[in-house]
Amino acid sequence: MLPVLIMLIGIILIILNVKAIKKEDKSFENILNREEMNNNRDYDVEIISIRKDLAETVLDLQKEIKELKKSLNHIKNKKEVDDNKYNIDNYKKEDSENILKEDIIENDIISEINFINKEKLQNDKMESVKSFLENGLRDDEICEKLSIGKGEVLLIKSLLRK
């Protein structure tokens, strides 16, 4: 009899545990579904906030682009006005230069002026180098004072020796 009683208690315990497991399965399933819904809502809220931030950023960028376009157009218009002023000034200068060139060409003075000035500059350089050499200055010092190259000073020196 004792073994039958133990068997009966074992069967009752198994039946009760099976019912408890079925009940837990349903409750676990409900908890899982509820948590999934909450998580989906959290993700949806975060997605909405990110989309809102991106939309605001894009709107700000569009406003800045429009402002840059306006300022660029303003600068272009201003530059065109400045270019027109510059062109007018250049035209006036070119006209006055052309008139002067025509006068010089008509009087045949242009060649004389260029050669006379060059000869005077060469003579001035030679005289300056000669006076500096007489004062005992070195070639480097003469180059610095007259702002000419050392080769030019040496050439003038050799011409003066002859």
- φ/ψ region of 86 (left if φ > 0, alpha if ψ in -120 to 50, else beta) reads alpha
Q: How would residue 11 be classed by pLDDT, with cut points 50, 70 and 90?
A: very high
Q: How far is CA 62 from CA 56, 58, 65, 68, in A?
A: 10, 6, 5, 10
Q: How would residue 7 be classed by pLDDT, with cut points 50, 70 and 90?
A: very high
CA atoms lying within 13 Å on the CB side of residue 22:
6
Residue-wise pLDDT tens digits, 85-120: 666 666 666 666 666 555 555 555 545 555 555 566
CA atoms lying within 13 Å on the CB side of residue 130:
10
